[in-house]
Structure 1
């Protein structure tokens, strides 16, 4: 992003990106039992100030993350030890525009199938890389993965008891050796704020 602070703390329509994201899951109609926010240790004090200033009404548990996404999700799961069953969603803190319908549909699909992930079809042509150049891929057979990614709680716990591998890029890749992953229609507005252009587009979409 090239900003002076972590991208989840950048201002979006007068509030930090992370506050917008958390409010999506705090929507009463979803009935989420607990929200766990996982952050690096050096960001905890900053979040405390932002929480008090912008969203003191948000009830959540804060956990210290690890060196990788895998380790951070595992730390978040540790906060749910009092729950024996249910569906848990893992979501990027920098996806502040996720429609409530996408969140709800992914939860419902996970409750039915055990594991569900929001995804959209690529709009552009896609090519793979080879030793001699590149080759065309059939984009009708490809999907761009988003979050939330939802799982039966015990299934996700079992997956995160396995050793961490470099091939784990998201939670679906951690779980897929144990259980099939159901895809749920995502939304092209469900941006992951990564570059300055993403922030500008999010401003427009929220407006």
Structure 2
């Protein structure tokens, strides 16, 4: 089946406090986004990569690709006013009727090849594959009256990306009005009444959003190179 990856990178990076958006910051000698695109391409050389970024960044991204001699094939699509709209724009750019598509945060460059491969295998069989990791810390639920209650952490998972789906099903799922509870692609899929399939993610697959994350990302890059 045709394989696609929609890499979404529309954030402004205000929490990072940097002069440019976080997806363009450099780790390990090149921008974060290039690491993310590269891991998908190295894992599946026949994958169709679709990068969704703000339209105002098209020229800047092109300049970066020239500066870093980045030649991995990918399409560049205009992002929307929300993550939902950005993902929808990416999906709408795919004109194939059948295939499998991974939707991935552009600022998660440390996803493992094993997770990517499993996500495509499981999605082809069950319709979806959502990468998750177990919690290590204790968990408490807060109530409106200021109280808190212990929760069994074994009953919860932290959700990552990629979130991978049969193309026909996820395109149908996104053909709806955006709702407030659409926090990720899995919730959009579930809105159709479909159950998602969970797979194990890799713990180092962090979403880089803060200066502390950049410090950890630099550590992970150096560890990878050793």
TM-score by length of 1: 0.96
- Aligned counterpart, 2:89: 75
Cα distance in 2, alignment partners of residues 98 and 33 from structure 1: 16
Number of matched residues?
Answer: 205
Given that 2:134 and 2:158 are in contact with CA atoms closer than 8 Å, whether structure 1 keeps it comes out as: yes
Cα distance in 2, alignment partners of residues 194 and 53 from structure 1: 24
Deviation sequence 1:6-30 (CA, Å, 0-9, x none) = 0000110110001000101111x42
| 2:47 aligned residue (19, 24, 33) | 33
Deviation at 1:38, TM superposition (A): 0.3
**Unpaired stretches in structure 2, ≥5 consecutive residues:** 1-15
Deviation sequence 1:73-124 (CA, Å, 0-9, x none) = 110011111x111110000000011110011111111111101110000111
TM-score by length of 2: 0.88
> Are 1:160 and 2:174 an aligned pair?
yes
- Aligned counterpart, 1:127: 140
- Aligned counterpart, 2:122: 109
Secondary structure at the aligned position of 2:57 is classed as helix
> Are 1:99 and 2:112 an aligned pair?
yes
Q: After the TM superposition, which segments of 4 or more aligned residues of structure 1 sit over 6 Å from their partners? A: none
Task: Please tell me the root mean square deviation across aligned C-alpha atoms, in Å.
Answer: 1.1
**Unpaired stretches in structure 1, ≥5 consecutive residues:** none
